[in-house]
Structure 1
Amino acid sequence: MSIKITEDCINCGACEPECPNHAIYEGGKTWKMSDGNSLFHKNEDYNIPQEPKKKDTYFIVSEKCTECIGFYEEPQCIMICPVNCCILDMYETKEELINKKNLLHTHHNE
């Protein structure tokens, strides 16, 4: 599953630096698939700025969320959030999450 941030978010920002995939953004901020990972080198499309998923609260880009698989035992945003607004959202298998992690963080000399 990827994780989402509910409307209960108080915009404290505690979750953002904890994400190993750079999948958490402040409300209203554009994002790129290549932010904070090795996709920058793979395909120009990964470097195109995307519209914010939320305007007023922090948000998680589900395409980049791996539930911290391959980094930590538990999702760090869920552990750090003081108001418990980071919750499981879409179902993804562990294999799908590992594949996503490998896509985001495998360095290629292309």
Structure 2
Amino acid sequence: MALIITDDCINCDVCQPECPNGAIAPGDTIYVIDPDRCTECVGHYDQPQCMKVCPVECIMKDPDRPEDRAALERKYLRLTAT
């Protein structure tokens, strides 16, 4: 699954620089995650780094975008292909 940021986001700016795929960006009111770039850090880390650093725990799995580990690995390979 890709991750999403809930309305509890306080725009603290700590998640964006932690994303190795550049999937997190400022939105109109809160930060947003591009589901086409989010691999939950598969290929980079053992756990999603944005979730690890979020002080208000407002980042969660997006129930509308189910992806298993194999799908996240394929996305990672697509994103890192040269």
Q: TM-score normalised by the shorter chain: which range applies?
A: over 0.9
Structure showing greater Rg: 1
Q: Which of 76, 79, 97 is 2:72 aligned to?
A: 97
TM-score by length of 1: 0.71
Runs of 4+ displaced beyond 4 Å: none
Identity %: 46
Amino acid at match of 2:72: L
Gaps of at least 5 residues in structure 2 are none
Gaps of at least 5 residues in structure 1 are 28-54
Q: Structure 2 CA distance, aligned partners of 1:3 and 1:13?
A: 16
Q: Structure 1 CA distance, aligned partners of 2:31 and 2:19?
A: 13
- The residue aligned with 1:74 is 47
Q: Secondary structure at the match of 2:37?
A: coil
- The residue aligned with 1:15 is 15
More strand per residue: 1 or 2? 2
Cα drift, residue 93 of structure 1:
1.0
Q: CA RMSD in A?
A: 0.6
Q: Secondary structure at the match of 1:99?
A: helix
Amino acid at match of 2:66: Y
- The residue aligned with 1:56 is 29
